[in-house]
Amino acid sequence: MMIDMTGKTALITGASRGIGESAARVFAEAGANVVLVARSSDDIERIASEIGDQAIACTCDISSYESVQSAVTKTVETFGCLDVLINNAGGLEPISHLATSDPEGWGKIIDINLKGVYYGMRAVMPIMQAAGGGSILTISSGAAHGPVEAWSHYCASKAGVNMLTRCVDKEERANGIRAIGLSPGTVATQMQRDIKESGINPVSQLEWSDHIPPEWVAQCLLWMCGPEADDWIGDEISLRDEDIRRKVGLI
């Protein structure tokens, strides 16, 4: 069943390519106003203009709270509301064993993948509280739950993000805020190209055809805005789960 997002506004981080770009297109098709966030401007501006008047591009580095706050302010000024936050932006480089990792590079991933998600939540929650609710959907990973060689920064950040979803739910479910995580499985995006190039762990040995298309993740995110996903509020959905794929209409 198609979820109708007419009159709703979604802010999507990491929307210049991959999962975020697909989410922007799928949410716009469902009627939502969409705000595309990334550090680089060219791609989000192109994608927003392809989508049309219901889309704006907002250059923003989610590892800066000030930058996230101004993206949220611009969203509300432009569309008058902010109903859905999709915490999607993330990174994985530099891939390296913990013993030889670069402390600065390691910390930068925490700044983006963990603190960036917190900044998004922190900036939108007062708006959602005042509006009587909203959805905060955060891309997690299987790496939140099991260690992966040479990804210690990524695993730690995604484990933290999973706990942030649970904390938001504990504090805000009563205020109508639906916090849900999504572990997508492996997805055919630039991130998987970088992983392949590293050659380090079993994920880098996967074939391109093993990955699901980013559109599947986007369709799942849209489904997560509807009542059928309410059973997962405060929890994490796995898109590897065939039952979820069936519910979303992917198989």
Which are the catalytic amino acids? 154
The SS3 call for residue 12 is strand
The single residue among 5, 8, 13, 135 that binds ligand NJP, judged by CB under 6 A, is 13
- The single residue among 5, 12, 19, 128 that binds ligand NJP, judged by CB under 6 A, is 19
DSSP secondary structure string, 44-98?
A: HHHHHHHH-TTEEEEE--TT-HHHHHHHHHHHHHHHS---EEEE-----PSP--G
Q: How far is CA 125 from the centre of its chain?
A: 16
CB of 237 to ligand NJP, least distance (A): 12
Number of residues that bind ligand NJP (CB under 6 A): 33
Nearer Cβ to ligand NJP (14/134): 14
Q: 221: how many CB neighbours lie within 10 A of its CB?
A: 31
The C-alpha angle with vertex 69 and arms to 63 and 75, in degrees rounded to 5, equals 120
With CB under 6 A as the contact rule, the residue among 34, 58, 62, 221 that binds ligand NJP is 62
The residue among 171 and 208 lying less far from ligand NJP, judged by its C-beta, is: 208
- The window from 69-77, 178-186, 224-232, 240-248 that contacts ligand NJP (CB under 6 A) reads 178-186
Q: Does residue 20 belong to the site contacting ligand NJP (CB under 6 A)?
A: yes
Site for ligand NJP in 98-127 (CB under 6 A): 112, 116
What minimum distance in Å lies between the beta carbon of 63 and ligand NJP?
5
Among 33, 88, 152, 165, binds ligand NJP (CB under 6 A): 88
In whole angstroms, the minimum distance from the beta carbon of 6 to ligand NJP comes to 26
Q: Name the strands in the sheet holding 55-59, side by side, starting at the edge strand that comes first in the sequence.
A: 55-59, 33-38, 9-13, 84-87, 134-139, 177-183, 236-238
Best CA proximity match to 116, nearest among 60, 36, 180, 77: 60
* Closest-CA residue to 106 (of 141, 67, 155): 155
Q: CA-CA distance, 86 to 108, in Å (whole number)?
A: 20
Looking up tokens 């009542």 gives 227
Sole window of 48-56, 93-101, 172-180, 184-192 interacting with ligand NJP (rule: CB under 6 A): 184-192
Which residues are near ligand NJP by CB under 6 A?
A: 13-20, 37-40, 60-63, 88-91, 112, 116, 139, 141-142, 183-184, 186-187, 189-192
